[in-house]
Structure 1
């Protein structure tokens, strides 16, 4: 993408419509006298690319509208920048042209347009960015005096002016993180204050909670004593269960009688089962005989199956062998196809070789023709030069002789005249002297004219000799280039020919190997077919034998076994009937046991009454614990409750299941007397009465409220700390990203800077150094250089030319780091001597292969290398422009 041309409408010193261009795709130089409006070209680009008025050397954007003595009332200013893409040869690509326009009006408003369509500046940014132009973070427009400003930059910004650090951050692109880092830092400070505030509030509630902790402990110990008293009441209720259990003993005796009857029935049942097992043994023996017959049958059957499997396996092997043969045939076909392809490749390469050999012969013939033509031309030139030299010698001699003859004739004439005058006596000595001086002057003039003519002839001879030498050099180059190309082509053809021969040999080996494999498979296939026929014959014989023996065995044995099975089945049915009779008797006994259990309902009612009282006590304790809601005490009380509940469950189990001994329960009640339990309950009451004076049960509710607030403050504080940590980690990650990108970019720029400074100064060294290596953003970056044969210096301590070279080296390094298709520079060579200007100019000329350079310069060493000159001049305080192609002009002269 390049600038094709620019159009100004009443912009600064340009009145009405002024078109600048077309710009050359490589190197355009803008020349003109001081004050003619050269720098306004860059100002126009800055204007279109959205720069503010102060960056275009004006206080207000309205000041950009043209105003001169003849045209003081212009109402608007506009600049069009026409851009187009080019290919590698510099030709314009179709359908790639577009125009970016900006217009400013007298009221201070402005608008942007792309191809005549009004748009926002963001659209211009996106459009240019898509074409490779970063208008925000790039320095492809170098303004007048900016080179010197770079040299005077401090390490970092001071007094609101950008330093080297900010300059490099704009180029590298890390300046985009500064605003986010500042926001993150301010947010972190707010979060730090918030965390401090939340922590203080948490500490206040924590002190309040710790203050009522002792009172809460007293209330909990009071509740524990009450719980202990409830436990004693529970043990008292257990003693009341004793009478219930004594009645349970009477029901036990009745159960024992029923148990005896059940045992008699069980004995009868066992006898019948013994008889049944005996019959089962007989059935089992008969079953074993049947299994033996079945086993023999299975063995014979397995032999048949194995023979069938062998047959199937042989058939499978036959199929696999047939598949292998087909696969090998396929491989042979593929190999034949490969051989055919390789032969075709060899033939194509042979044809290519023949073509190349023909072209080589043609090239040799052309070279011979060129040599002959060159010899003819040289001979012609020599033939032209020889007569010319002879003519020169002749002309020289004739001129000299004519001059001498004329001089001699003049002298003779004058001598005659003098003689006449002397004879007459009318000529004095002074007149003679004047005449002699006049003759000498005429002689000198004629001598000078003859020398000038000789010099012209010599210059013409030099031009002819130079043309002859140039023709000889061109011939030598042509011979060298063509011979090299032919050699390279011949080597390439020979190598390809060798490779194709090797590939052909390899394929032949593979074919021979595959044919041998095919022979092996064919022989193996024949053997397998023979083996298969043998197996078929064996199988047929074995199947006939098996069928005969099997038929003989099964007919006799099956008849015998069926008779025995019928007898066993009849005996088994008789046993089943007897078992059913015994089960009916057992059901009757169970009904009698259930009637006895029904008599125990009165005992269960009393047990349920005791359980209700115990549950009411536990309910009261749970209500008290629900008020406390403290984990440790709650766990302790729950454990006690679970213990009592398990005791109750055990009592219930003893009452429900008849036959379990109640001795253990009775022994436990003997150990604790009813009177002792009542005494212990009274002691607990006294303890509770003594404690109640110092106990505030309401403190538990207060503690619950404070503890809830304590937990809320704790959660709020932790949430604030989490936000603080998240913000800190995000900020650190952003700082690290900025640091890494800046260091990587600085390293690349510094490396290229060394290379550029060494090239421009022919031996100097330059470096970009961090003042603080741990944090480059606090102290900034220092630009240090060591000119050739001098010591290290800060750039601010260099001479004007050295500063300019150092700054240009940095600018070119930045261009290499972030290249763009276009570079526009305003008088970057102003402070350099002719030698350094020439170095800079040749470097820029080299760079124009990959980018478009537009240089405003007054130095001939610079603009003489340009591919196009653009002249700017002023007429009546209005800038005008004219383009000039120096290459076309030189061609016309030749």
Structure 2
């Protein structure tokens, strides 16, 4: 009677119950070791709540589920109360609503009906439906006291028998695996034979069909083939025409605006032209006079140019003569300076020897025995000889030569410090080496700088070349995908495209230009795919991974993207995760992912059509 009610209100009836936490841990370890699955274990010694001995007062005298359960052992009563609490049982949903919400006591009760409808204390209602939970209370486990020694012996015997069978099956398994490998190696040959037989059968059937239909059937098939080609060609032309029409409409609108602006500017220019014509007509006489003046000025200018050229040539000749005189003047000046220096030195020598001569004096030694003749001679000798200018000049020259000889002799006896010259030579060599190193370093720096500039220029040229190709392909791809839209790539800084990046602008069909960040989810997807396809056209990649690219697209756009990707699989492989049938039905191979028994599995299917097999 209460089976449905307690099965609905207490899904924890499948939990295991043990006495202590240690026992529970041992049970979990055993489950993990034997890989027996998962289980929830209730440890009696860890329960913080115990079943109350006295039942509380309930609305309308509704019984508690825990009071309706008769435990085999009273110690399990706490486990039942732990999962059931004060859940009440009502006959139907009306009584359950009264008990749960309208009892007037202010306390909310958890109530379950006999037919499996549950009202939680929070007000949530669940249960009902075509299938209800039942039978959880009927599950019984054999008590440990009832297991006899005969049962244990029987189980041990069964275990030994099972182990023997396991060993036998293990031995057979290797033989079966070898046979399986052999059969798998023969499988491709059999598949090829089957395919060949199928193709032969198809060819035979086609031949029989042609024999039955005759010329009329072949004629109709040719007409059908031609009609299909015409329809496909018409569809392609229609698509191109729609794209061209949309582009022509945009160009027409743009040209109309340009034409209106040009007309307005033309009107302004016509007004200005009229004013200028009036001024020109009013000043015609002045214009003629000015023309004559200009002609005269031009003639005078030509004459002055000729005169200027002659003057410049004469100036060059004068400059050459002046340079010659300047050189001669410099040489004469140097000779004069040398002569003045020699004259100054000679004058200094004259002054020196004149002073020395004036200081000379003869001392007379008186001698009583000296006769008068000797005395007169000595008195006459006290007076120095007076030389003439010519004699003085000769005497001075001889004295200068003697001094020069003496100075040369002193110089020869002197010992010069040659270490200074060696140090100077060493420092000069170091300076020249440092100068050579500096020149080499400067030259290497200039070469590296020039190489860097060349590489930067090469990078810029290659980037702009690829950028132009990708931008053109992007426009083409977006127009093909959206049947009328437009997309552009623009440089933020045209002088340095690597500093600020690019801007991706999109104009969806019948809308204005927008940045890609301001588009909807589907429009962003189409724009991104157009850019991916443009990059693929510029530099194809052999493998692409795409995760639910069609999630935000409608049926039409999914079909367009799917067919385009299928066409691109000629030179690339696309691995696409998709939940849309009009996308994955176009694939060559399907890999399905599913989950059973908490284990993820996969299955692969070759989605090859019959016409591809026959071809």
Tell me which interval the TM-score lies in, with the shorter structure as reference length: 0.3 to 0.5
More helix by share: 1
Higher relative contact order (CA 8 A, sep 6+): 1
Provide TM-score, normalisation by structure 1. 0.24
- TM-score (normalised: structure 2): 0.34
